[in-house]
Amino acid sequence: MSADQTLIAYTLRLADNALILAQRMIELVAAEPELEEELANANFALDYIGQARMLYSHAGELEGNGRSEDEFAFMRDEHEFRNLLLLEQPNGHFGDALVRQFLFEAFYLHLLEALIACSDQGLSEIAARAIKEVKYHNRHSAQWLVRLGDGTEFSRERVQASLDNAWRYTGEMFTGDDIDVAFQRDFDGPNLNAIRDLWKRDVERTVTEATLRLPDEQWMVSGGKQGQHSEHFGFLLAEMQYLQRSFPSATW
Amino acid sequence: MYTQGLDQAGNDKQSGVETAEQLAAFQKRVDAEEKIEAKDWMPEAYRRTLIRQISQHAHSEIIGMQPEGNWLTRAPSLKRKAILLAKVQDEAGHGLYLYSAAETLGVSRDQMVADLLSGKAKYSSIFNYPTLTWADIGAIGWLVDGAAIMNQIPLCRCSYGPYARAMVRVCKEESFHQRQGFDIMLTLCRGTAAQKAMAQDALNRWWWPSLMMFGPNDTESKHSAQSMAWKIKRFSNDELRQKFVDVTVQQAEFLGIRVPDDELSFDPESGHYTFGEIDWQEFIDVVAGNGPCNKQRLEKRQYAHNEGEWVRAAAQAYASKQAARAAA
């Protein structure tokens, strides 16, 4: 894989993460427990759609074949998406969706920090913009994790189960493959081992404050970054892509 | 978006003694275009009318998130998805300002929400119609937000200060929504034959319900005269409806789609369009709970509220623990 191909593949992974998480979040519109959370959820999902659009456009420019953001989002098949499995998991209840957000963003925050320093100017600029949004999201989800953990007996048990269930998807964030290795080498990209340590430290701190316990070391599921998704993913794409696929020549 | 709140049945029992002097002094302030503020004396019926209207308006914003939210996951481009999501977020924000404005009149948000969930409180009948195609998202922005703006711009001058100020902000956002809706319609009408047919179908289904948004004819409107005297309302239902028709018919012509009314014609003498009779039985049915989606909309709200109970309880328990820790 050439350096250019590495950069495109890496950018698309980031874009897919942002889009797929946004798509799951917007399923929650009009279903939040409080009106204030409606605003927060919609706002954060909008941030992710914005990030996805910037990242797809950047990938399209790098590729140089005129592929638009919408072609990346709506005209690729399941196996061509390279998002983390964690992000495509169904929403479940408020605690499940919150834990997914918390675990990912605690990682994403450090990833963006590292990306600001990467040698690709486009990605660096997008990361600098995104990190401001994600810092805010991260504070919001950490506060909720503490409220649910240190709330009622019921909420503690419930969110502990959410944490236990989501944990198996966290390994994939830190398991570097050829693209991660090449991106680190050729573009001064993130060191995933270093990020794992920072993530673990931050997650542990919030989990402790929330009076929860970190799940035990366990087997980790992976495959999203290589295009091998869970069964849920096909349905997500079918819904998201339906209009573009039904009217392939139309402009919207 | 708007509710037909002014014209929904209300039981305005007066409590306490209101003297003729008090009422006259109040009317004098209203006539002088002074803004009435939360702590000012006001007739009980004025307070109740406003609580009913503002809370119904807030509920309409919240329920209105559902028909549009229905297309969020299927929006046909990332740009359209972002615009629609921003719009739905604005509606949640409008709900929040409006509940806050109503709270200044001495009713709690919890109480208002409970009234919505129990079916006691009404919201705009328009949201009890389904959004069946993407073009419905265009039609809602163009027609429903268009009608809402007609209704709401005069509310920026409403005699009650907190409501008037909330409406200034709401109107700015609504006018953006209306333009976006029209832009969706325009794109569809300039698109393929199938897209144009989708736009026509949406106009066919949303036209009459949009006209109903202005409420009953003036001769049937129970609360109008008093609301006009109090300067809560500035124009009658029929005046606003006529204004909407005059503007919108020309926009439909520009789009190249047909307004589904055989009796529609331009009257050069009055300078207005004349239009056919609204099916008022349909309006009464939908307001009474028998629209295509009344049950679905309310059940979704109830479900979300009930599913969120443990979360709110946890937040409350945490806040209490924190307060106790701070006190210790």
Q: Report pLDDT for B15.
A: 53
CB-CB neighbours of B276 under 10 Å: 14
CA B139, CA A197: separation in Å to the nearest integer?
A: 51
Q: Please judge whether A33 and B88 are an interchain contact, meaning their C-beta atoms are less than 8 angstroms apart.
A: no
CA distance between the termini of chain A? 35
Q: How many CA atoms does the CB half-sphere of A41 hold within 13 Å?
A: 25
Pick from A33, A155, A252: which is nearest to B77 by CB?
A: A252
CA B231, CA B159: separation in Å to the nearest integer?
A: 5
Residues of A in contact with B304 (CB under 8 A): 30-33
Strands (E), chain B: 265-267, 272-274
In percent, the amount of chain A with pLDDT more than 70 equals 100
Cα dihedral sign, B118-B119-B122-B123:
positive
Q: Please judge whether B311 and A94 are an interchain contact, meaning their C-beta atoms are less than 8 angstroms apart.
A: yes
Chain B contact for A249 (CB, 8 A cutoff): yes
pLDDT tens profile B311-327: 999 999 999 999 999 99
**Mutating which of A27, A249, A252 best tests the B interface, going by the most B Cβ atoms within 10 A?**
A252
Nearest Cα residue to A52 out of A121, A133, A142: A133
CA B252, CA B259: separation in Å to the nearest integer?
A: 7
Closest CA of chain B from A45, distance in Å: 8
Which tokens hold the place of B254? 């520009």
Specify the residue for token string 């002094």: B25
Chain B contact for A29 (CB, 8 A cutoff): yes
Is the confidence at residue A229, as pLDDT, over 50? yes
- Domains along chain A with CATH numbers: 3-246 (1.20.1260.10)
Nearest Cα residue to A20 out of A244, A227, A245, A252: A227
A87: pLDDT confidence band, cut at 50, 70 and 90?
A: very high
Residues 6+ apart with CB under 8 A from A22: A45, A46, A48, A49, A52
Backbone angles phi, psi at B199, to 5 degrees: -65, -40
Q: Please judge whether A23 and B73 are an interchain contact, meaning their C-beta atoms are less than 8 angstroms apart.
A: yes
A1: pLDDT confidence band, cut at 50, 70 and 90?
A: confident
Strand partners of residue B266: B273
CA A72, CA A57: separation in Å to the nearest integer?
A: 9
Q: Please judge whether A38 and B92 are an interchain contact, meaning their C-beta atoms are less than 8 angstroms apart.
A: yes
Chain B contact for A252 (CB, 8 A cutoff): yes
Cβ atoms of B249 and B255 closer than 8 Å: no
Averaged pLDDT of chain A: 97
Is the confidence at residue A101, as pLDDT, over 90? yes
Pick from B65, B73, B301: which is nearest to A27 by CB?
A: B73
Number of helices (H), then strands (E), belonging to chain B: the values are 13, 2
Chain A contact for B114 (CB, 8 A cutoff): no
Q: Which of residues 134-163 of A touch B (CB under 8 A)?
A: 146-148, 150-152, 154-155, 158
Is the confidence at residue A144, as pLDDT, over 60? yes
Which tokens hold the place of A113? 């920090």
> What is the interface size between A and B, counted as CB pairs within 8 Å?
139
pLDDT tens profile A21-57: 999 999 999 999 999 999 999 999 999 999 999 999 9
CA B121, CA B119: separation in Å to the nearest integer?
A: 6
CA A229, CA A206: separation in Å to the nearest integer?
A: 29
Q: Report pLDDT for B12.
A: 47
pLDDT tens profile A187-199: 999 999 999 999 9
Chain A contact for B197 (CB, 8 A cutoff): no
Residues of B in contact with A73 (CB under 8 A): 78
Pick from A34, A39, A49: which is nearest to B78 by CB?
A: A49
ipTM: 0.97
What pTM, to 2 d.p., does this model score? 0.95
Specify the residue for token string 């969930």: B117
Cβ atoms of B95 and B38 closer than 8 Å: no
Residue A244, CA distances (Å) to A23, A80, B14, B77 in order = 16, 17, 58, 8
Is the confidence at residue A186, as pLDDT, over 60? yes
Residues of A in contact with B184 (CB under 8 A): 252
Residues 6+ apart with CB under 8 A from A45: A22, A25, A26, A29, B85
Residues 6+ apart with CB under 8 A from B6: B49, B53, B215, B221, B223, B224, B227, B232, B233
CA-based nearest residue in chain B for residue A43? B89
Residue ranges in chain B modelled with pLDDT below 50: 2-3, 5-14
Q: Please judge whether A31 and B304 are an interchain contact, meaning their C-beta atoms are less than 8 angstroms apart.
A: yes
Cβ atoms of B38 and B104 closer than 8 Å: yes
